[in-house]
């Protein structure tokens, strides 16, 4: 099958859903979706055929089995099959519906007609092959944190979004009033998706700047230190990038960091404190955590 994709289907206990999402993301799935099946949860993950062999998929099944045993939960059932690219797109869209996040946002799939009477901020999104739809706990925690930082008064804040994925957090920051957002990602597919979503939400390219790269690229592009940083990736990457962030901050800079599992909070907190950050709050949703921090 040309341009074929693996569709992984995992039927699991509801309490295992976040762990399954995390495992699929680490494995390299480009898109995920979930729906309730009675008292269980059906999680779907998608990745290109060339990225995984049958033995790799069997390994994922074993990891999910082990994760469930460690957490004391029923072992999930996993199966997989190949679909073509057109079927992948249709399957993804069929299981993703508008979702209210926090007090202000309504995340709205690009292919649905926009409601005329919503009192919420409508954030239109087509994630394509990039992470970030608003359904994952870490994305919701970050958007809710942005509401606290930007949602209640006029601001001239300049924000950096490191590992922007679909651009959902960058879009959220702009829609909440940030003056300018710099969004970066090492994945060219994410860069393409974020730029597309910028156009979809009618945001000027000069207000939301999207480029491929990491913190070193930000240092080249910025006119000066930023007011805020958002970073929703993985704990290991946050630990690696934290020392580099010192080059783009000022004494009043704040940051929102997520993608961190509960048992990863201590090493992340230790590195943050070693690099001059103060932890203001630590929010938790299920097994995921979000750090709201500021400079010491």
Domain boundaries, the chain: 4-94, 99-295
Q: What confidence score (pLDDT) does residue 86 get?
A: 63
Question: Domain 4-94, what fold?
Answer: Alpha-Beta Plaits (3.30.70)
Question: Domain 99-295, what fold?
Answer: Rossmann fold (3.40.50)
Is the separation of the CB atoms in 252 and 222 below 8 Å?
no
Rounded to the nearest 5 degrees, what angle is found at the Cα of 242, between the Cα atoms of 166 and 198? 20
- Cα 109 from Cα 179, distance rounded (Å): 25
Q: What confidence score (pLDDT) does residue 1 get?
A: 46
Q: Report the DSSP pairing between strands 40-48 and 31-37.
A: antiparallel
Residuewise pLDDT in 10s, the chain (296 residues) = 457 888 899 999 988 988 898 888 888 887 777 888 888 999 988 888 888 888 889 989 999 999 999 889 999 999 998 887 666 556 666 667 788 999 999 999 888 888 888 899 999 988 665 566 777 888 999 999 999 999 766 678 999 999 998 899 999 999 999 999 999 999 888 899 899 999 999 999 999 999 999 999 999 999 999 999 999 988 889 999 999 999 999 999 999 999 898 889 999 999 999 999 999 999 998 778 999 999 98
- Cα 162 from Cα 180, distance rounded (Å): 14
Q: What confidence score (pLDDT) does residue 112 get?
A: 84
Q: What confidence score (pLDDT) does residue 127 get?
A: 67
SS3 259: strand
């Amino acid at each position: 099958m040309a341009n074929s994709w693996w569709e992984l289907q995992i039927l699991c206990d509801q309490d295992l859903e976040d762990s399954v999402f995390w495992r699929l993301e680490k494995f390299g799935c480009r898109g995920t979706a979930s729906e309730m099946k009675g008292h269980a949860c059906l999680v779907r993950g998608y990745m290109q055929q060339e990225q995984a062999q049958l033995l790799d998929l069997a390994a994922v099944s074993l990891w999910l089995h082990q994760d469930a045993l460690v957490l004391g939960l029923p072992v999930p059932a996993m199966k997989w099959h190949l679909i073509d690219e057109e079927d992948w797109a249709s399957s993804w869209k069929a299981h993703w519906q508008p979702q209210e996040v926090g007090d202000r946002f309504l995340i709205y799939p690009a292919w649905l007609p926009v409601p005329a009477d919503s009192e919420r901020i409508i954030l239109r999104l087509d994630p394509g092959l990039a992470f970030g739809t608003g359904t994952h706990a870490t994305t919701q925690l970050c958007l809710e944190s942005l509401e606290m930082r930007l949602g209640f008064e006029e601001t001239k804040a300049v924000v950096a979004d490191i590992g922007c994925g679909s651009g959902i957090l960058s879009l959220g920051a702009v829609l909440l009033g940030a003056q300018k957002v710099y969004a970066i990602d090492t994945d060219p597919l994410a860069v393409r998706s974020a730029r597309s979503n910028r156009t979809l939400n009618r945001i000027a390219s000069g207000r939301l700047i999207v480029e491929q790269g990491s913190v070193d690229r930000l240092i080249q592009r910025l006119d000066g230190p930023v007011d805020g940083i958002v970073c929703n990736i993985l704990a290991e990457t946050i630990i690696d990038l934290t020392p580099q962030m010192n080059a783009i901050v000022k004494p009043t800079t704040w940051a929102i960091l997520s993608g961190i599992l509960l048992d990863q909070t201590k090493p992340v907190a230790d590195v943050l404190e070693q690099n001059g950050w103060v932890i203001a709050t630590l929010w938790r949703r299920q097994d995921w955590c979000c750090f709201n921090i500021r400079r010491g």
